[in-house]
Amino acid sequence: MGQPDQVNAGAELSTLLRQWWQGEEVVLKQDSVVGKLKAHGIEITQATLSRYLDPGKPSIAREEVIRALHTIFRRPPEDLPLALGLWERATTERTARNRTRATPPADPAPGPQRPSRRRPYGLAAAVLVLLGAGALWLAAPWESARPSDDAAPAAATPSPGALAVCEGEACTGLEPNYTVCRNDAVTTFVDADEVVGVELRYSRACKAAWARIGQTRPGDIARITDRDGRTQKRAQISGHGTHSAMLPAAHPRDVRACAVLAARTICANIPTSAGR
């Protein structure tokens, strides 16, 4: 499901990770690298690792994979900020591309039209209608101040320019990217599927968590549920993934992240080193 993310920063990141791998005195086989990643508490398949290391058809490596590879390949400290900077750029570019795809095309400009030969009866009727509407407004001016029953609700998340601060229950339903919770978020549980990626993202500072899915299709759902059955979920609109809003959680084990697909549900049940 889904296609690899092909963005410039993603290709740069894959190139850097491949240089880390091939820069070893003794180049490890990819299955050996997978084994070392699993020893770090990261569940990953060799096929997924191969996509992370292929600049020609790159997939954006997960943050915890980058950190673990930096340790496994014994790279100098300055290499990690460089890799994480590329990861940040790659995910930003992917989000921007997905938003561009979701923007409907502009309506084509109308072609030249012939002048109308109809008599101006329609214009006179429109003027009469407007005059009648104005009279009704003058008779009941308060009607214009009443909100429409189907008006869109106000946005529940703050502007990205000023990150909101929340903790526990106060984080319920908030968009994590618009809060300080994103600053210390780590992936605490992952799934075992070879294609679809499901992650439980957790912020210890906020005591809140959310579900993140990847390599999925529009219509698939990122869902997080707690022990009391409370749920936050979001359907993917475009691109290759999405994430849910947040639920409060004293510990990552108090919640469960899943990808709800058309024919099956995949959940993140494998703890990472950060989730133990």
- More confidently predicted of 174 and 126: 174
Identify the residue whose tokens are 């703050």.
Answer: 158
Q: Average pLDDT over the chain, rounded to whole?
A: 78
Per DSSP, the chain holds a count of helices (H) and strands (E) of 6, 10
C-alpha–C-alpha distance, residues 60 and 51, integer Å: 8
The answer to whether the CB of 234 falls within 8 A of the CB of 152 is no
* pLDDT for residue 96 is more than 60: yes
Strand locations in 192-274, DSSP E? 197-203, 208-214, 221-226, 231-235, 241-243, 247-248, 255-260, 265-267, 270-271
Lowest mean pLDDT among 24-33, 163-172, 206-215, 227-236: 24-33
DSSP assigned state of 264: -
C-alpha–C-alpha distance, residues 244 and 233, integer Å: 5
What is residue 262's predicted lDDT score, i.e. its pLDDT?
92
Burial of 241 (0-12, 13-18, 19+ CB in 10 A): buried
Residues above pLDDT 70, as percent of the chain: 73
pLDDT band at residue 162 using 50, 70 and 90 as cut-offs: confident
- More confidently predicted of 25 and 238: 238
The listed range with the strongest mean pLDDT (99-103, 128-132, 217-221) is 217-221
pLDDT band at residue 2 using 50, 70 and 90 as cut-offs: very low
Q: What is the DSSP pairing of strand 247-248 with strand 255-260? A: unpaired
- pTM: predicted TM-score of the whole model, two decimal places: 0.46
What is residue 156's predicted lDDT score, i.e. its pLDDT?
42
C-alpha–C-alpha distance, residues 64 and 100, integer Å: 28
DSSP alpha helix (H) spans, the chain: 8-22, 30-39, 46-52, 63-72, 79-102, 121-139
The listed range with the strongest mean pLDDT (19-28, 32-41, 226-235) is 226-235
* pLDDT for residue 161 is more than 60: no
What is residue 122's predicted lDDT score, i.e. its pLDDT?
52
pLDDT band at residue 113 using 50, 70 and 90 as cut-offs: very low
Segment 61-90, tens digit of pLDDT: 999 999 999 999 989 888 888 888 888 888
